[in-house]
Structure 1
């Protein structure tokens, strides 16, 4: 189950809302958040099997660099959660429609898009 979260969300209110949801559900988690790939910095290089990358779909659609980073994170075993835009990201991902709820975001984080099963243990 993911315990490290990287959020790339341009709306600061939405980003804080997601952070609050994750902290409430996973109190011991670590979160790196920013509005763009550049703001995330080196945190993106730590994406692995214990990580989830939560990213606004329109950002992926608008940036080939971000799409490659998302695909690399998925190849390293990170869970990918795409908010909003449902364009194919080229790797297994969970998609959450906007507007979202705490339940839909947490369910997407707990869902393994590779196997099609939830790994929820808490």
Structure 2
């Protein structure tokens, strides 16, 4: 059983959608940060802003990782499919050569002409 490239692409698309959803959350978080800073003035805001900035950086990293993972899934699925196709062609060629060799051997022992025209 070979790799299911369609399924791999579907999974990669889902991961890309998750990254997009996280970007939306990140944008909302930045908007909330701006609104909080406008409405609330205190010494504690320094720590709130630091926490929100850290969360923003983490979300950016996760989005990048998800995008990279999605791209890797598609590329690896294609690569595996190509390797499987090459292995299938090699097996077919090997089987053809073995059949020709058997036919030549049979021809030499029986004196009959090979069905392969050899």
Q: TM-score range by the shorter chain?
A: under 0.3
- Asked which structure has the greater CA Rg, the reply is 2
Q: TM-score, normalised by structure 1?
A: 0.20
Specify which structure has the higher proportion of helix.
2
Larger % of strand: which? 1
Taking structure 2 as the reference length, what is the TM-score of the superposition?
A: 0.21
Structure possessing the higher relative contact order (Cα contacts under 8 Å, 6 or more residues apart): 2
